[in-house]
Every structure is written in C-alpha cells, then in structure tokens.
C-alpha cells in the first residue's frame, strides 16, 4: 500500500491517481491538504483567477414520474393533486422572464411521465427554438432512455432526433452514484450505470456536450463514490465531451432515505477529491443550491472554478427543504470577495461578460 | 503543515509561527490582504493543534436577554428598542425565575445573560437577577453583563468599578462575556456607537474584572465599516491587556449581520472574511487560550469548517438566540448536544463538553 505522503506528492506533481490511492487520500488527508492539492491543480488547469457562472432558469416540464427514486421529494404520481405538466403559456412566460433577466439558457428537465409521447418532447424543443433565441440544456440520461423506450428507437436515433429538434446540450443529472449496487437501492427504476454512460458517450459522439453530476451522502461507500468518478474519467478519456463535473450532497428531508445530511466538511472533501481525480475535466462546479453561499464561496479554494447558475427558479432541491436563493449580484460578490474575477459564461464555458 | 503556500509572503510568517515568535501588526495585515485562504488556515491550524490537539470544546448553555430596552442605540444593532417602542420588553425578576423553572435541563452548565442599557432600572434589579439564577440553578455558572453594562451599573449605583464588580460577584456572577468592545477604534466608535463606552473605558472595566479574579471573554464585531488596520489594532490592544492581566479566556469574532439595522446596505460577511478573522485571531492572539467559532453568526456549516481555521470552541446549545436573529441570522436558534457532538466528530475532532470556565464536564 502506498503511503499517504507519496500519494500527496504524486498528485502534486500532476500524476493521475487511481482508486486505491484516491480512497487513502480521501479517508486520511487533512482537509487543508486536500484543499491545497485541489487548488494547485485548479490553477494548473486555469492559471487565471477567474470564476464563472451562467444566468439560467430551471424549468421542470412535469413532476409526474414513474421512477419514484427514494431520494426524491419532487416527483408525484399521475393522479396526485399536485401533479402537473407545464402548459405552453407558462413555459413561454418562464422563458421570456429568463431572457428579460439576462438569461442565456434554460435547464429543461422533468419526471419520467408514463403517457407523454416522444413527439411531445420534440414539439417542446421545436416550439422553444422557433419562439426564442435561447440555449436548451435539457433531458438528463434517464429521460432520454425513457423516451427511447416510448419511441421504440435506439439511443443514437433518439438523441439525433432531439438534437435536430433543437436540443443544444445535455445535463449530467440522474447519475447519482454510477454503481448499480447503489442504484438498485436508491433509484431502482432509473437507468443503470452502463446505460447512463452509453447515453453520454452517444451524445458526445454526435457532438452534444454534457455535464456530469454525482449525488453523494446517502448509502454509498467512499469507494463507490470514487468508482463513480473514475467511470466518468474513463469515458472522458475517450470522448472529451464532459464540460463540467458537479458533485452535490443528498438532501434527505421529505425523502425516503433516512440519513444524516452530509456536512460541509464532507462536501468540501468530496469537491476537492473531484478536482484531484477528474484530471481530464476542465470545470468543477460548486453547488450553492445545496451548500449555501458561504460554503459555495469556500469551494472556490477547494478546487471549484465555477458557481453553476443563478437558477432563477429551482424546484427539485427546494422540495427537499433546502431553499438558498442567490441573484447574479450575490454570485459576483461571492467571487470578488474571495479575491477572484467574476465572469458570466455560456453553456460551453465561453465568457460572455466580465465584472469589475 | 500544507505542501506549499500560494502566497510566498506567508513563508516568513510560517517561520515565525513555527519558532513561536510573536506576530507584528504588519504580519496581520499581510494575512488579511492575502488571497491564500488555505495558507492562512494552515498556519492557524498548526497553532490550534499545538495548543489543543484535536479537541473542540462546547458548552450546554442558555441565553437570557433580560431587556431589549437600550439607550445606546448603536447603528449596528437590530435588537434594541426605546422604552415606549413597539416590541420593547423587560423581564421582571419573577419572569426570569419562571423561564428558569419552566425549562430546567439537567445538563445545563452556563447561563449567558446580557441586555440593553436600560435608562432607569436600579442596580438592585441586576443583583436580584443574579441571586435568582443562583438560587434556582446553584450548579450552573453565570456568565453575565458585558463591560458596557458593568460601567452602567457603576454609574447608577454610584460605586467604584471595583465595588460594583465585588457586589455582582457576591450576588452570583462567575464570569463576564466579551461583548461591547465592537472594534476598538475611536473612528468606528464615533461613527457607529458614540453613546457606548469608549475603548479605553472597556479596557478599564475588563482590567478591573480580571483584578477581582473573574475571567472574561473578548470579542470583535467585524464586517461593517472597519478597516483591516483597525482589526489588527483591535487584536493588539486585546493582546496587550492579556499580557497584563491574563484574564481573558476566549476570543470570539462576531460577524456583522445588517438586516433590520441602520446599516442594512452592508452585505453579509463573506466566508473568506469569517475564516480569515478566525484564523488571524488565533495567530495574533498568541496569549489567548480559546478562539470560538460562534455558529449563530457563522452558520453551522462554516462553524464546522472553522475548526480547522484556528477555532477550538463552538460555543454551545444556546437555546433561543435573540440578538443576531433580530438581524436576520439564518442559523438555528439552538442546537442539541447531539448536533454539536456530530458537527465536531464528523470533522475528525474530539468533542469536549465544558463548563463556562472551560473545565471538562464529567460525562454522565
């Protein structure tokens, strides 16, 4: 077994870290050592002290979902009094508001609705694209798998049709922990890890960029979490299609998994480890939605170089009892009071506007 | 320590810290101005671990704010009211007795009691408060009355500071909290709290408290209009008093919350400022034993992280915090022992339950 010091040295020198060493590092390195390593690697990748964010809105087209994952407080069954499918009027209004407040993209996601036809999703995309000039970051892999089943189409054909209808990029949601042993407990009806990775690989191959996420702090072991990171790293070696990695901690309120909420301490360790393990992904995002403004700011010294989005609207985490709200001005203040330069970006991390 | 400092200026400070050489004001200014937060944290963590290892202290305590009526009306305060203003209150001695009887937790070790500068309550009222608490909770330490209140008592009782403190001590006072110094700068005093006692008087009261063999805490309210130089000067003034008396137990950085105050245009403190202030306090105040991460003001998440930025104490359970919550604090109003224990343990530290005077409590 390698000693912790030799692991730390190797990482500092820029060597790739593998699962066993990553676990030793995660379990044993002092918090500030992890931060030191992550920060060092972040500046090797991004020498300029810049932190970016995007102005966007989450639009959840439906909360009706047949998946019923145990960690979810957002989904509703078909006939539930609070079940909905968004109307065109509400959708248009939300997008117009997004554009009016300087937004450049929407994050379009929803539950796995049992009855909507594939044409619903294609029409949704075409409608948005003909009515508005906005980037559509939409449909996580579980939704795409669901659509492919409904349509009886291959993954490739499903993604191609979505792309032709206007889909610009794919969010990395639904990954949770990419280890089936974990998935069959927390999200038994959601696509397995191989399918998730296949969908992302296919998306990258047809030229759609995607992000990747990880939801930790429920029933996974540290090694399962590290396996998740390494599976994403392996795919990235092949496709280079992941723009960013976003780890966030499970929010247990109103869900069916009864665990203590992950602490800020654990969050920062996982975030730093993400930067260290994912040596081939350019951007690591801090999650202010789950951590609040203070820990999100601190994350900028623990490997993160991006604060995600302003999220003019967020429903899924809010349903689990966590409601942090930050406006664009707040994000800029967080970045600047950390001694860094703030920039607004687009979905592919191109800078649109600098703030001084 | 860590592998490398991003800010090379920190190597000279590291050298001093490792060799136990007292830091100068200009070192403090470098520490505040650097963007190398992790470097500052690592220096403070080194000193913290040398002094306390991986122990983190906490206390089972209760706050009592006997009145919010205050004639000082400092600009940073959202708690104070004028006598006839809506929401003004003052507990009678009997009300305090009822509060203590209604909620009488077994594990309670400290009562923290402070209040506004009431224009006409007599000195006996304050003595009666102490006697009542002492009567109902003979086993609990009473930490009460900031230097500002003690100065006021001396003026209404027409007694010397020393005699005032003696009378309070005789009525049951065990320890004095650190509030009321805000930022020890004449400029900030003039602008934000001109009616409150000056820094010189605050120091005088604290020295008199220490002379009577009572310990006290010290604080600094930061994140409003004060400059980096003023913060460092505040630390140096406290360090000088401590060299003389050795009567301070803990230093508590207090993050300014502006909501509902006359300074509501000032944004909340950043996590960087919060952690730097904690760490720099640990580094500059080399003669203070304890640096507290006051979770009410930092929030529970940041308070947990502060344990590796120099803090060795998380204050306590509190039960019903009022003052910072009047100014929009989003933290809980109280925490259970179990929650505090978890905050400490899950960060790899060892919880030590203490009394007000930092004696470890025997676990029952």
| Run of H or E residues at B64 | strand B61-65
All domains of chain B in start order, with CATH: 55-354 (3.20.20.70)
Kindly list the distances between the CA atom of residue A82 and the CA atoms of A62, A73, A253, A322, in Å, as whole numbers in the listed order. 11, 12, 18, 19
Report which DSSP code applies to B346.
T
**Beta-strand pair A306-309/A210-216:** unpaired
Residues of chain A with a CB closer than 8 angstroms to some CB in chain B = 8, 12, 30-33, 35-37, 39-40, 43, 49, 260, 263-266, 268, 291-295, 297-298, 301, 333-334, 337-340
Measured between beta carbons, which residues in chain A are less than 8 angstroms from residue B42?
32, 36
A337, B42: Cβ pair inside 8 Å?
Answer: no
Return d(Cα A169, Cα A125) in angstroms, integer.
12
Kindly list the distances between the CA atom of residue B148 and the CA atoms of B161, B297, B313, in Å, as whole numbers in the listed order. 12, 21, 24
Residues 6+ apart with CB under 8 A from A112: A65, A66, A67, A142, A143, A146, A189
- Give the CA dihedral B47, B49, B52, B55, nearest 10 degrees: 140
A338, B41: Cβ pair inside 8 Å?
Answer: no
The residue of A11, A294, A299, A339 whose CB has the most chain B CBs within 10 angstroms, and thus the best one to mutate to test that interface, is: A294
- Percentage above 70 pLDDT, chain A: 97
Tell me: pLDDT of A322 over 70.
Answer: no
Tell me: pLDDT of B23 over 80.
Answer: yes
Report which DSSP code applies to B269.
P
Q: Kindly state the tokens that stand for B148.
A: 């500002």
pLDDT for the residue numbered A255: 85
| Of B357, B178, B175, nearest in space to B254 by CA | B178
Q: Is B331 on the interface with A (CB under 8 A)?
A: no
Can you name the CATH fold of A18-355? TIM Barrel (3.20.20)
Q: Kindly state the tokens that stand for B97.
A: 């007795």
Q: Is B41 on the interface with A (CB under 8 A)?
A: yes
Tell me: pLDDT of A320 over 90.
Answer: no
CA-based nearest residue in chain A for residue B339: A260
Tell me: pLDDT of A319 over 90.
Answer: no
Report which DSSP code applies to A79.
T
Q: Is B3 on the interface with A (CB under 8 A)?
A: yes
* Residue A225 C-alpha, separation from nearest chain B C-alpha, in angstroms: 18
Mean pLDDT rounded to a whole number for chain A: 94
pLDDT for the residue numbered A76: 93
Tell me: pLDDT of A35 over 60.
Answer: yes
B38, A36: Cβ pair inside 8 Å?
Answer: yes
Q: Which sequence spans correspond to the domains of chain A?
A: 18-355
pLDDT for the residue numbered A254: 80
Confidence category of residue B364, pLDDT binned at 50, 70, 90: low
pLDDT for the residue numbered B104: 84
Q: Kindly state the tokens that stand for A183.
A: 């998935």
Confidence category of residue B22, pLDDT binned at 50, 70, 90: very high
Confidence category of residue B274, pLDDT binned at 50, 70, 90: very high
Tell me: pLDDT of B1 over 70.
Answer: yes
Say whether B286 sits in a helix, a strand or coil: coil
HEC letters along B128-161: HHHHHHHHHCCCCEEEECCHHHHHHHHHHHCCCH
ipTM: 0.93
* Residue A123 C-alpha, separation from nearest chain B C-alpha, in angstroms: 43
pLDDT for the residue numbered B264: 94
pLDDT for the residue numbered B212: 98
Give pLDDT tens digits for A136-187.
Answer: 999 999 999 999 999 999 999 999 999 999 999 999 999 999 999 999 999 9
Return d(Cα B250, Cα B51) in angstroms, integer.
13
In chain A, how long is the greatest CA-to-CA distance? Answer: 61
Q: Is B274 on the interface with A (CB under 8 A)?
A: yes
pLDDT for the residue numbered B105: 83
pLDDT for the residue numbered A343: 97
Mean pLDDT rounded to a whole number for chain B: 95
* Residue B35 C-alpha, separation from nearest chain A C-alpha, in angstroms: 6
B38, A39: Cβ pair inside 8 Å?
Answer: yes
A295, B305: Cβ pair inside 8 Å?
Answer: yes
Other C-beta atoms lying within 10 Å of the C-beta of residue B338: 9
Tell me: pLDDT of A324 over 70.
Answer: no
Tell me: pLDDT of A214 over 60.
Answer: yes
B6, A339: Cβ pair inside 8 Å?
Answer: no
| Of A303, A337, A339, nearest in space to A35 by CA | A303
* Residue A292 C-alpha, separation from nearest chain B C-alpha, in angstroms: 9
**C-alpha angle with apex B133: B132 to B137, nearest 5 degrees?**
125
A36, B2: Cβ pair inside 8 Å?
Answer: yes
């Amino acid at each position: 077994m390698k000693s912790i010091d030799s692991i730390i040295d190797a990482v500092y020198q820029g060597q790739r870290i593998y699962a066993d060493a990553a676990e030793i590092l995660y379990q044993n390195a002092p918090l500030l050592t992890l931060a030191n390593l992550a920060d060092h690697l972040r500046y090797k990748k991004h020498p300029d002290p810049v932190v970016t964010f995007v102005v966007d809105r989450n639009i959840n087209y439906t909360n009706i979902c047949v998946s019923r994952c145990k960690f979810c407080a957002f989904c509703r069954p078909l006939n539930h009094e609070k079940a909905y499918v968004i109307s065109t009027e509400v959708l248009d209004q939300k997008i117009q508001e997004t554009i009016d407040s300087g937004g450049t993209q929407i994050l379009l996601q929803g539950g796995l609705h049992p009855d909507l036809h594939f044409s619903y999703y294609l029409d949704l995309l075409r409608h948005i694209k003909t009515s508005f000039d906005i980037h559509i970051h939409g449909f996580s892999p579980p939704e795409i798998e669901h659509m492919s089943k409904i349509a009886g189409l291959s993954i490739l054909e499903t993604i191609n049709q979505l792309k032709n209808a206007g889909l610009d990029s794919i969010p990395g949601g639904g990954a949770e922990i990419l280890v089936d042993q974990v998935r069959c407990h927390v999200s038994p009806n959601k696509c397995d890890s191989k399918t998730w990775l296949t969908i992302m690989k296919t998306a990258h191959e047809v030229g759609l960029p995607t992000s990747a996420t990880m939801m930790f702090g429920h029933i996974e072991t540290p090694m399962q979490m590290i396996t998740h990171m390494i599976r994403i790293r392996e795919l990235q070696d092949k496709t280079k299609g992941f723009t960013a990695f976003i780890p966030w901690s499970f929010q247990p309120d109103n869900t069916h998994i009864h665990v203590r909420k992950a602490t800020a301490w654990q969050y920062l360790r996982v975030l730093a480890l993400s930067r260290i393990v994912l040596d081939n992904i350019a951007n690591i995002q801090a999650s202010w939605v789950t951590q609040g403004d203070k820990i999100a700011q601190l994350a900028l010294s623990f490997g993160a170089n991006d604060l995600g989005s302003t999220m003019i609207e967020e429903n899924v985490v809010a349903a689990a009892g966590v409601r942090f709200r930050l406006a664009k001005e707040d994000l800029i203040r967080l970045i600047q009071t950390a001694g860094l330069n703030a920039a607004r970006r687009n979905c592919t991390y191109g800078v649109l506007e600098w703030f001084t | 320590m860590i592998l490398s400092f991003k800010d090379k200026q920190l190597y000279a400070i590291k050298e001093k810290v490792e060799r136990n050489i007292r830091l100068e004001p200009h070192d403090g200014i470098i520490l505040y101005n650097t963007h190398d937060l992790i470097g500052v944290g690592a220096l403070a963590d080194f000193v913290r671990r040398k002094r306390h290892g991986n122990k983190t202290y906490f206390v089972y305590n209760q706050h009592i704010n006997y009145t919010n009526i205050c004639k000082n009306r400092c600009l940073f305060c959202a708690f104070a009211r004028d006598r006839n203003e809506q929401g003004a209150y003052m507990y009678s001695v009997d009300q305090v007795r009822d509060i203590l009887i209604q909620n009488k937790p077994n594990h309670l070790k400290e009562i923290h009691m402070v209040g506004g500068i009431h224009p006409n309550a007599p000195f006996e009222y304050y003595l009666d408060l102490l006697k009542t608490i002492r009567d109902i909770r003979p086993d609990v330490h009473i930490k009460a009355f900031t230097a500002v209140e003690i100065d006021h008592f001396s003026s209404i009782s027409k007694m010397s500071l020393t005699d005032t403190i003696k009378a309070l001590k005789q009525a049951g006072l065990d320890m004095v909290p650190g509030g009321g110094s805000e930022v020890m700068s004449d400029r900030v005093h003039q602008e934000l709290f001109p009616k409150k006692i000056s820094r010189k008087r605050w120091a005088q009261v604290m020295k008199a408290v220490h002379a009577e063999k009572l310990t006290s805490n010290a604080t600094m309210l930061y994140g409003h209009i004060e400059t980096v130089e003023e913060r460092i000067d505040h630390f140096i003034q406290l360090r000088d008093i401590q060299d003389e008396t050795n009567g301070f137990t803990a230093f508590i950085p207090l993050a300014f919350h502006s909501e509902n105050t006359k300074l509501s245009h000032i944004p909340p403190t950043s996590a960087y400022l919060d952690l730097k202030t904690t760490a720099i306090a640990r580094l500059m105040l080399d003669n203070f034993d304890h640096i507290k991460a006051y979770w009410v003001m930092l929030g529970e998440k940041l308070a947990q992280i502060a344990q590796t930025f120099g803090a060795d104490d998380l204050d306590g359970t509190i039960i019903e915090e009022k003052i910072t919550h009047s100014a929009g604090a989003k933290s809980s109003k109280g925490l259970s022992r179990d929650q505090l224990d978890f905050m400490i343990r899950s960060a790899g530290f060892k919880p030590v339950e203490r009394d007000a005077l930092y004696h470890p409590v025997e676990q029952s």
